[in-house]
Chain A
Amino acid sequence: MSRGSRAAAAVVAAAALALTACAPSAPEGEGSGDGGATGSGVGPLVVATTTDVVNFNPLIGNSRTDSWVTDLMYPRLLHINEDGEKEAALATDWGYSDDLTGYFEIRDDMSWSDGEPITAEDVAWTLQSVLDDQPAGTLLGQMGAVESVEAVSDTRVELHLSEPDAVVVPEVGFWAVVVPQHVFEPEGSLADFANDAPQADGSWVSAGPYALTEVQRGQSYTMERVEDYPLADDGAPNASEVVFRVYPDVNTELLALESGEVDLVANALPPSQVERLQSADGIEVAEVPGLGYAHLVYNMDEPRLAQVDVRRALAAAVDYDTIREVVLQGQAVSAGSNPLIPVLSQFAPEDAEEYAFDPQAARDLMASAGVDDTSFRLLYNLTDPVMAQAAQLMEEQAAEAGITLELDGRERNAYLAATDAGDYDVYLGNFAIMDDPVTNFRLSYLPGGVINYTHVDDPDLTALVEEAGRQLEVADQVPVMQEAAEIVKDQVYDNIMYTQNLYIAHSDEWSGFVVQPSELLSVVNPVSLANATTAG
């Protein structure tokens, strides 16, 4: 399956560090894990965030703070390591026993905080309930090929598939969060259960390194260490407590970090603050590889944009280098305008060349398409600072090519609604996690796909994407996917601009964090917070 060693992500990280041209502070993934201190005397780890937990049920659509907190409570079957590969977590082995059966073997040494062991029954019940109750969330979208789930022994779960599907097992393994059947089942539908009240003893039944014990809305979430957590290096978490504290915005978070009030800021740093904090006393900055991308999408329902020359003209009217250098301060990796982004090292073509910024070519293409009205409305989320500033630069760059980009920045919820309604000519946005290219292509480029913002329906592309999904070996998927990606790039069905590298600031008193890619996992993932320590 998705194992095997890759080095490209490390190369990418090194290149990004070279670009920032300042003292690199490499993430301390391993090395500081001295065997001695097993938690004793390690004080609470205070983590800053900017929003409250909206949902304690990990299977309902989640915000980042929701994920950070519930990931410490409920285990995932698989994790993603720094190189973007799936690795064992609750599941120790996974794969397919035949074309229509996927399986997970799970650990037998983990138990819920009330003493009940975690069994394959819990896993099977969680997955089957997602199929039955259809809670809003990413997981359901990954389970299209799954017909039913059953526990065949205490440690083995089998997924029965409707058709051969090469990606369903690793994808479900990563996106599924296992919940305790004996607590959730009596509460009725998974889709409606808020899980916002503790048990009689004041805590939640969970199985992570820390157990939630106190909730003060708008202020803090206190989680106490558990005695036994097999995924930690020492078999138990180090810090006595993890406290999530809520701050109004990133400015106040950084002030709190600099004054020593918090030990870690969970939100990624704004690009312009990275350099300053890297050289600040008492603060270390961990680099977290991105696992998603920022892209421009051209709505083909608009007649002008249905013409490939118009899309090519728009793609030639953006100065990608300047956006990466200025808005992102060089903290981004070009995707070579290819949806197989470099961090997906098994798939990414080596010589992907980016669309060139060429205002004159854009003018010519626009003229050859016979389009006189060169005004397009650009939709973006204006509360995302990077997107908002990139949009401003794009407007000016497009003007050089005689193209008017009418900025239509909207507040987040209005932006999401407009995105769903297809209410845009050009869409500017980003995805945090695109861990599996086949799944990503299905959702993005098949007709009816939930993130098919281009509204593309190209039979050749569709055939290739479906073909790739039938290949059970990654090596067989690669050439098909590369061919599909070439169509996407040539036809400008999707304009992938870059993968942003993220930076997380923490106090230099703490070490031992384990970096996982994307802001969702970063150093706030359960393994990382279990291993974090002030010793050494």
Chain B
Amino acid sequence: MAAPTRPSAQQPSEPSVDPAAEGATVEGVPGAQAAAVPGAPADVEQVAAGGSAARDTWRAFRRQPLGVLSLGVLGVLVAVAVLAPVLADYPSGTGSSVLAPPSAQHWFGTDNLGRDVFAQVVWGSRSSLLVAAGASALAIVLGTAVAVAGAWWPRLDALVGLVVDLVLSLPVLPLMILVAALVGPRTTTIVLVIAAFSWPEVTRVVRSLALTVVRLPYMDAARLLTPSATWIITRHLLPAVTPVVVVSVVLTASRAVLSAAGLAFLGLGDPRSWSWGRVLFEAQQAGAMSSAWWLTLFPSLAILALVLAATLASIAFNDARDPRSRVRR
């Protein structure tokens, strides 16, 4: 396989991928050295090296108040989702006070059937986070696999580039609406639909880094050691792109929440489970948006909190894993 072996002289001309490539060296090179001596010691050394890089990143991350705060917000949201049954009764049935503003009894007010909006937001976090996790996991796996395959097999890369550009140029929302409407609004459908239109973003980011990494000297060294593409990809290429993947996970997840809320607001959410988008949709359907502000404010705040925290946390992580920005601080 004629892998391109362009020297690292190219690096200064590509400042955008430079820090990432450097990050890759931190984790990737020890692995390449260890490859000379297959067996247990290599694993130990790799884990140790990886561990110390992770420790450095974590230390740097902790020094960023916004990052820590965002992580805290994300933690609270996950806790709310997990503890939903403890925090509130499942919103069902009907209540006597219809469209009541927030009060001590109903912290977030009630909707047009007299149901507690607080309970809806709390239980809504479950399906919203589930969609976020499911859709981003699928998108990440697919997106990374395609990106790495394209980077490793140059002939495939032209096709990958074409498909990614094609999918990225599609009008995503109308297509999501079409698919969700045809297949029927189910949580699994929503997850699949969002994942199907999110993976190219991941591929684009991962591919640009992977293309740089495969040209680095240590990859050539690995090729000399083994003919196994699988081994090199899993041991060297994937670890090298892991940091961007982590950032992508968070961003894709937050975008998935927005997409899911958008679909639910258009009436294409799963009618059998609560989500933040569904609370907004029902408020709109009831014609209560202008008169009952609490119906729209609280689910919107929840969406804002999740998306903002995810974005800030990923920015903070990106800074923290970059050794040069660590030095600057």
Q: Give A residues with C-beta under 8 Å from B.
A: 249-251, 254-255, 258, 269-273, 276, 322, 326-327, 329, 382-383, 385, 388-389, 391-393, 395-396, 407-411, 413-414
Contact = CB atoms under 8 A, between A and B. Distances in A.
Contacts of A395: 272
Contact of A273 (B93, B272, B286): B286
Interface string B217-234: 000000000000000000
Contact of B288 (A258, A273, A327, A329): A273
B215 to A, nearest CB: 49
In the complex, the 7 A-B pairs of residues with the closest C-beta atoms, listed nearest first: A385-B285, A272-B112, A270-B287, A251-B289, A326-B94, A250-B287, A411-B181
Interface size class of B (residues with CB under 8 A): 20 to 34
Given A272-B98, A272-B99, A385-B282, A393 B291 contact: no
Main secondary structure of the interface of A (DSSP, over half): helix
Please indicate which of the listed interface residues B99, B184, B268, B271 has the most CB atoms of chain A within 10 Å of its own CB.
B271
Contacts of A273: 286-288, 291
Contact of B98 (A322, A329, A388, A409): A329
B86 interface: no
Contact of A414 (B94, B184, B289): B184
A272 B185 contact: no
Contacts of B271: 382, 388, 391-392, 407, 409
A121 B145 CA distance: 72
B139 to A, nearest CB: 24
Contacts of B272: 395, 407
Given A329-B98, A396-B92, A388 B285 contact: yes
Main secondary structure of the interface of B (DSSP, over half): loop
Contacts of B161: none
Nearest to B269: A382
A360 B282 CA distance: 32
A103 B92 CA distance: 56
Contact of A385 (B92, B184, B286, B291): B286
B182 interface: yes
B114 interface: yes
A445 to B, nearest CB: 29
20 contacts: A249-B284, A251-B287, A254-B290, A270-B287, A270-B288, A272-B99, A272-B288, A273-B288, A273-B291, A326-B113, A327-B113, A382-B185, A388-B285, A392-B271, A393-B93, A393-B113, A395-B272, A410-B184, A411-B181, A411-B268
A270 B113 contact: no
A251 B285 CA distance: 8
B267 A383 contact: yes
A393 B94 contact: yes
A19 to B, nearest CB: 14
Contacts of B92: 392, 396
Contacts of B99: 272
